[in-house]
Structure 1
Amino acid sequence: MSDGRVATDGGVESSPGLRIAVTGAGGRMGREVIEAAADREGVAVAVAVNRSLVDPVAGVAVESAADLDGLLASEEPDVLVDFTGPASAVAYAEACADAGVPLVTGTTGFDEDGLDDLRAASDAVPVLKASNFARGVAALRRAVREAAAALPGYDVELTETHHNGKRDAPSGTAKSILDDVGDARPDLDERVHGREGDAPRAATETGVHARRAGDVTGEHEVLFAGNREALELTHRAGDRGVFAEGALDAAAWLVDRDPGWYGFGDVLDAGDTEDAGDSGQ
């Protein structure tokens, strides 16, 4: 990496000559990351892989994911950015650990065993996992924590909406927000996913609703209601580029870190935004 630093649009410094690897290059987010890198000065895609054959993306040739080990060894990227699936992400994390390449992953839907496997890689290399790389979501989560603590006894409902191709429900971001609510309101220890028939609300429940429709990028709304008033906190992503930009900010930040487990909040803390992001669940 070069010595000089240049500021990104988000205020996080990126080193000229930052060389990244991208997995899932043929997917929605993989393409977004490659295109965002092409538009960002001082960032180049050294490796792009996909499990199936796809055409070049933004002028970058896409190789077979089966060749990732060899590509990491020969190209020596500074960091790998992953938005794939839980099983693939774990395999890529193991490859990064073997090659000594830091990993940024926005993949969601892990079960506990998968998270344990992902965390194992952080013994060898820095691993940054976040359910969402939008700075607005980081601000939403901070606001949710404050509201939940300030409104004891209020009912809480969370609704998230994504495109019709999203597989995990509720979204990883929604789960992180629910954890935030639970930390501030330990009395809400039951999550009820949708309602049907005779379903009176229990005082201990948080309602969770996942909607899948069209090409919606991502919306998260948290409703607090009680004492004859209601408070709604909402974030809407205009397009996936906001997530790709945040992932590149995270990649630039992660390169020189020690092995360990990090979250997007750590990146934002570096920009004087304290405890504003994903805790790296």
Structure 2
Amino acid sequence: MKLVVIGATGRTGSEIVAEASGRGHDVDGIARSEDTIEDVRVHTSDALPDLLEDADAVIDFTVPSATREYAELVAEAGVPYVVGTTGFNEQGIDALREASESTAVLKASNFAKGVQALMRVVEAGVEALPEYDIELTETHHNGKRDAPSGTANTVLDVIDQARDEELDRTHGREGEHLREESEVGVHVRRAGNVRGEHEVMLAGNDEVLTLTHRAESRRVFAAGAVDAAEWLADKEPGWYDFADAL
């Protein structure tokens, strides 16, 4: 399988390159400057149109502004597109949706299998405990740009769906703040080299339920992204989710 990894020299991108190469895939990377990592060729973005001619899938872990530009090229080439970039605004998601009209697009905020399980458990817990207060805390490394994380926002969407209402997302608290029934607290921490940790707390009736996922290595995200690319390679144009691949 011929894979193109955009953001190949980044924290997660380099792990994806190693994972895909280890599985025997033919990998080319795209980064800001030409390089070679573990015998994998890394090109600048100018080479992307040529690489797309015989690519089976593209995996993109970059930043929203870059992904929007890449999405147009990938869609024109009709190559399945796995997107792990987070931090999109509404216009960015619209651009990916438009690309999915021409090719298969799989967009996920997190490619860890355990996070998919967390989503299901959170949904079940929120539905079972409709009167309980909910707080979400997420922790990532000190270089992460978007806050809250894409995974945290996805968990919050799951909570809204389970409650059948859009809760008020209170980002931290300061001064006098009486908690409202319709709010969910959102707390963000950035420190060290934490790969990713998400905790949902449900409290009420003199008890506390805590649901937590912690990534011990970025390799879990890389493995999931390559799983997604392998699955997406022969799919028809459309919008797909990582849960579909699993």
TM-score range, shorter chain: over 0.9
Kept in 1, the 8 Å contact 2:68–2:92? The answer is: yes
Structure 1 residue 66 displacement after superposition: 2.4
Map 1:1-281 → 2, pairs under 5 A = 18-40=1-23, 42-45=24-27, 47-50=28-31, 52-53=32-33, 55-73=35-53, 76-187=54-165, 189-268=167-246
Kept in 2, the 8 Å contact 1:21–1:77? The answer is: yes
SS of residue paired to 2:49 = helix
Spell out, residue by residue over 1:107-153, the C-alpha distance to the aligned partner (whole angstroms, 9 max, x if none): 11010011001110101100000000100000001000000000011
After superposition, the Cα gap between the structure-2 partners of 1:110 and 1:188, relative to the gap in structure 1 and judged at 3 Å, is closer
Q: Report % sequence identity.
A: 54
Structure 1 residue 171 displacement after superposition: 0.3
Q: Which runs of 4+ in 1 moved over 2 A?
A: none
Task: Report the residue type matching 1:44 in the other structure.
Answer: D
Q: Distance in 2 between matches of 1:89 and 1:53?
A: 17
Kept in 1, the 8 Å contact 2:75–2:103? The answer is: yes
Q: Distance in 2 between matches of 1:189 and 1:181?
A: 8
Task: Report the residue type matching 2:44 in the other structure.
Answer: S
1:13 corresponds in structure 2 to: none
SS of residue paired to 1:161 = strand
Kept in 2, the 8 Å contact 1:20–1:77? The answer is: yes
Structure 1 residue 186 displacement after superposition: 3.2
1:279 corresponds in structure 2 to: none
SS of residue paired to 1:124 = coil
Task: Report the residue type matching 1:21 in the other structure.
Answer: V
Structure 1 residue 67 displacement after superposition: 2.3
Q: Distance in 2 between matches of 1:80 and 1:149?
A: 37
Kept in 2, the 8 Å contact 1:33–1:245? The answer is: yes
Q: Structure 2-normalised TM-score?
A: 0.97
Kept in 2, the 8 Å contact 1:188–1:203? The answer is: no
Q: Distance in 1 between matches of 2:34 and 2:132?
A: 50
Q: Distance in 2 between matches of 1:216 and 1:43?
A: 29
User: Which blocks of at least 5 consecutive residues in structure 1 are unaligned?
Assistant: 1-17, 269-281
Q: Distance in 2 between matches of 1:89 and 1:188?
A: 28
Q: Distance in 1 between matches of 2:99 and 2:72?
A: 6
Which segment is superposed worse, 256-265 or 188-197? 188-197
Structure 1 residue 54 displacement after superposition: 5.0
Kept in 2, the 8 Å contact 1:26–1:54? The answer is: no
Structure 1 residue 100 displacement after superposition: 1.4
Q: Structure 1-normalised TM-score?
A: 0.86
Structure 1 residue 71 displacement after superposition: 2.4
Kept in 2, the 8 Å contact 1:188–1:206? The answer is: no
Q: Distance in 2 between matches of 1:100 and 1:58?
A: 28
Kept in 1, the 8 Å contact 2:170–2:184? The answer is: yes
Q: Distance in 1 between matches of 2:207 and 2:7?
A: 45
Kept in 2, the 8 Å contact 1:23–1:80? The answer is: yes
Q: What number of residue pairs does the alignment pair up?
A: 246
